[in-house]
Chain A
Amino acid sequence: MTAAMVRAVATRDSEVLVRVADPIDVFSARWAAQRIATAIGFASAARQEIAIVVSELATNILKYGVRGDIAMHRVDDAALGAGLELIAFDDGPPLTDLAMAIQDGCGDGGPIDPARQLGRGGIGSGLGAIIRLSDLFEYRPGPGRKAFRAVRFVRRPRRPGASP
């Protein structure tokens, strides 16, 4: 078996697309991400952080996009090394205000009234958590389906302002 063949097989094994249309799919997505993350070589705590990112992406699909998919695959960056890329697509309308939505305690429509936070099924910090626990974050409003892309590297690059 040549090296090229080995690589092709590895790429196929580490590429997954998970459909998210039901609350149980949040778990399936997390489960799939755990398998890939383990294969890539993420440590236990990092895998839990990835699981949180996947959960937030999947929960957002269910909440705002109704249904969608999460694509997961290994990336090998020349400078940053191995990592896991997660791209969540959904059919919902694009965000009206990204800057607002990524603020903690805010939904797409603005700050969440603390009195209404109970029973809302969230605390308005999903996107914030995704950004904090990922090394790269990108929002693509379209054309076509909107997408959130998050990449986490095995060796986290130092981010400005982050504590050591």
Chain B
Amino acid sequence: MTRVTDDGGNDDGNGAGTHLTEDVADALLVLANVADGDLDTRVRVHGDDGSPLATLFAGINEMIEALRAERERGVAYQAELEDKLTTIERQRAAIRELSTPVMEVWEGVLCVPVVGIVDSARSSQMTDVLLQAIVDKRTRCAIIDITGIEVMDTRTVDHFIRMARAVRLLGAECVLTGVSPGIAHTMVSMGIDLTDVTTHRSLREALKTHVLARRGR
């Protein structure tokens, strides 16, 4: 805390002129400090309470105090805002991971990009959403992209293949893209029958094949 003090005997009656000069210099110094961002500084008010200078200095002090309170509020608000932004950022990441968007990229072609982690709850939710979308949008082809998913539980992989069979039963083709080596290994070691599933190396390749096939018609 910086407080401009002057112990140099303001009370010894050196004359009103000196007092005035000193007090004004004191006040100017305080204002300079305030301009530099030090809001804990105050102008020393002394002498007659009723004097115009004392009133002015008291006014300046009130103003500095108000400024300080305002700044504190601003800092608190800023911290709160940053906190909220972090929460929103995390929630956004969560929503991205927890939900599975089903997009109609071409007439009759659905695309389901799956990112993040696939657990049993999510694989179940994905099946619900995808099968409903296939019926609603009269889909001919559903492309499920699992790029970036390195591992799944064996039972979830099995559920995925069952989902593909269900898609087939609804009269659509099920295309799987971006299968990682780990998941490919799981599928093969489980001896899963992959006759109902078409695979492509990448989403791009699958889109090229299936969208072009429909454009050509």
Contact = CB atoms under 8 A, between A and B. Distances in A.
Contacts of B125: 121
Interface residues of A, number: 32
Contacts of B154: 132
A121 to B, nearest CB: 6
Interface stretch (B55-63, B64-72, B88-96): B88-96
A51 B150 CA distance: 12
A43 to B, nearest CB: 10
Contacts, number: 81
B156 A122 contact: no
A122 B121 CA distance: 4
Contacts of A27: 90, 93-94, 97-98
Q: Which of B90, B121, B154, B189 has the most CB of A within 10 A?
A: B121
A123 interface: yes
Contacts of B159: 123, 125
Contacts of A139: none
Given A31-B90, A52-B117, A123 B98 contact: no
Contacts of A133: 153
Q: Which of A28, A30, A124 has the most CB of B within 10 A?
A: A30
A104 B155 contact: yes
A122 B98 contact: no
Interface of A: 23-24, 26-28, 30-31, 44-45, 48-49, 51-52, 55-56, 59, 104, 117-126, 128-129, 132-133, 163
